[in-house]
């Protein structure tokens, strides 16, 4: 069900092609009515696919898939990957760990190193095949993490569904030395500054 909306402020229904609680909470900050729909796509990486290409492809695939079901709505798709070597052809991607053991292994690999969190966003409407895409890059320097620190963090926060195995909006921020970003919401998974600009361009009323 869509939330009740004012036609003067929302030109079309708005859908977030995600079931992520983190992205939902971020989008709620814009105070626009929207619905969440699971995109239900295969998120596997293609052989040799660069991280940037992967993030953009999946963001578009999510938005397009839901837009086919709701052609009159504007659909937001987003995908984030964390990489240890941004420009290397064989860049190591740290996805959602899924298990405590994998989460611990990812954080051990990140200890004392810089990661780039690449967040791609696509805004799509099926009825007229309009598409907007953009990419946000946030760089993070991890401090040196010993085994006890990593195990304690994973036990306390269980960030098993977070790229790189770290929940930056929570206790995960204590693992960093610094964060370099143009948009603090990008690291959480939905860069609101650029997204707000796109939504204004397609007709939504925002301050």
d(Cα 94, Cα 82) in Å, to the nearest integer? 5
Chain centroid offset of residue 156 CA: 22
d(Cα 194, Cα 203) in Å, to the nearest integer? 15
Catalytic pick from 6, 42, 53, 79? 79
The answer, yes or no, to whether residue 86 has pLDDT greater than 70, is no
- SS3 for 100-113, per residue? HHHHHHHHHHHCCC
Active site (annotated) includes residue 183: no
d(Cα 141, Cα 180) in Å, to the nearest integer? 9
Q: How many CA atoms lie within 13 A of 82 on its CB side?
A: 28
pLDDT tens-digit series, residues 42-75: 988 898 898 999 999 999 999 999 999 999 999 9
Give the DSSP letter of residue 162. Answer: S
d(Cα 49, Cα 42) in Å, to the nearest integer? 15
Let me know if 136 is exposed, middle or buried by CB neighbors in 10 A (0-12, 13-18, 19+): buried
The CATH number of domain 14-201 is 3.90.950.10: yes
pLDDT tens-digit series, residues 2-30: 333 444 444 799 999 999 899 999 999 99
Ordered by start, the domain boundaries in the chain are: 14-201
pLDDT tens-digit series, residues 165-188: 999 888 999 999 999 999 999 999
Chain centroid offset of residue 114 CA: 19
pLDDT tens-digit series, residues 100-127: 999 999 999 999 999 999 999 999 999 9
This prediction's pTM: 0.88
């Amino acid at each position: 069900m869509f939330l009740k909306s004012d036609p003067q402020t929302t030109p079309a229904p708005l859908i977030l092609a995600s079931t992520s609680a983190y992205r939902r909470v971020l989008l709620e900050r814009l105070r626009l009515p929207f619905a969440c729909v699971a995109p239900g796509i295969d998120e596997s990486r293609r052989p040799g696919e660069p991280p940037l290409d992967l993030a953009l492809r999946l963001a578009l695939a999510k938005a397009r898939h839901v837009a086919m079901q709701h052609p009159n709505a504007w659909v937001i798709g987003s995908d984030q990957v964390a990489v240890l070597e941004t420009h290397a052809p064989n860049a190591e991607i740290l996805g959602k760990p899924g298990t405590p053991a994998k989460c611990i292994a990812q954080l051990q690999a990140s200890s004392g190193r810089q990661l780039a969190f690449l967040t791609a966003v696509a805004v799509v409407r099926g009825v007229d095949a309009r598409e907007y895409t953009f990419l946000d890059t946030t760089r993070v320097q991890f401090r040196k993490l010993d085994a006890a620190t990593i195990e304690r963090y994973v036990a306390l926060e269980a960030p098993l569904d977070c790229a790189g195995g770290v929940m930056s909006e929570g206790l995960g921020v204590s693992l960093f030395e610094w964060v370099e970003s143009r948009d603090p919401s990008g690291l959480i998974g939905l860069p609101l500054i650029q997204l707000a600009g796109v939504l204004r361009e397609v007709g939504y009323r925002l301050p």
